[in-house]
Amino acid sequence: MLKTFKVVLLVVSCLGFAGAVAGAQEVIHAMTGTIRAIDAADKSFTLFRDSGSLITFKDATGSKTRAANASKILSDATAASAYDKKDAYVIVFYYGVSDNPTALAVRALGSGPFTATIGTVADFSDKARVILVKDDSGAVHEYKIDANTIAESDFGVVEGFKIHADKGGHVRVVGAVTSSNPTALFLNLM
């Protein structure tokens, strides 16, 4: 009887510890859009998403939450609580569900010009670091991928050279126009 009690106690303790560790880390996600309003008193900002809707983020000031998958990605972004540029086109790194998201950091994408392509992956090359996206009209768009490219996947954000896209998969790409092929700034692997 005492031996059974010890085993049960050990199992319950392990499950409690595992739950505490799992709850302490959040998977980080990302989205693009334009910051429309900043409320310093409420510690929040409103983003006009590329999809055409508004979303309000609270910032993570005072939070002890750890990012499970994005420490390197967040290293060159500005803390959400310190970001103060209204009307900037940005990538927002956040956790939580879409009706109550918490922003960790913001990366300004610059002044553009930008391209946006929605379609299917026609080809993806890890070696050449290129993605080809076929849009609804049948046109194929080529984007270079570099270390600063960010992707949103089912598992959260993925950085630059760790991105992988399956041929035929649905994707939305935001790119920066350069003298040659556009460079992908953000990929949403849908």
User: What pLDDT does residue 12 have?
Assistant: 47
In a domain, 163, yes or no: yes
User: What pLDDT does residue 180 have?
Assistant: 74
Choose the final residue of a domain: 108, 138, 158: 108
User: What pLDDT does residue 66 have?
Assistant: 63
User: What pLDDT does residue 60 have?
Assistant: 78
Same domain, 102 and 127: no
CATH classification of the domain holding 155: 2.40.50.320
User: What pLDDT does residue 63 have?
Assistant: 66
Same domain, 133 and 88: no
Give the pLDDT means over successive 10-residue stretches in the chain (190 positions): 49 46 72 95 93 91 63 84 94 86 94 93 94 97 94 90 93 88 93
In a domain, 49, yes or no: yes
In a domain, 45, yes or no: yes
Instruction: Quote the number of domains for the chain.
Output: 2
Same domain, 121 and 80: no
Same domain, 102 and 41: yes
Structural domain for 135, as ranges: 114-189
Choose the final residue of a domain: 83, 108, 133: 108
Q: What is the dihedral of CA 157, 161, 166, 170, to 10 degrees?
A: 50
User: What pLDDT does residue 89 have?
Assistant: 97
What's the predicted TM-score (pTM) here?
Answer: 0.83
Choose the final residue of a domain: 74, 108, 142: 108
In a domain, 41, yes or no: yes
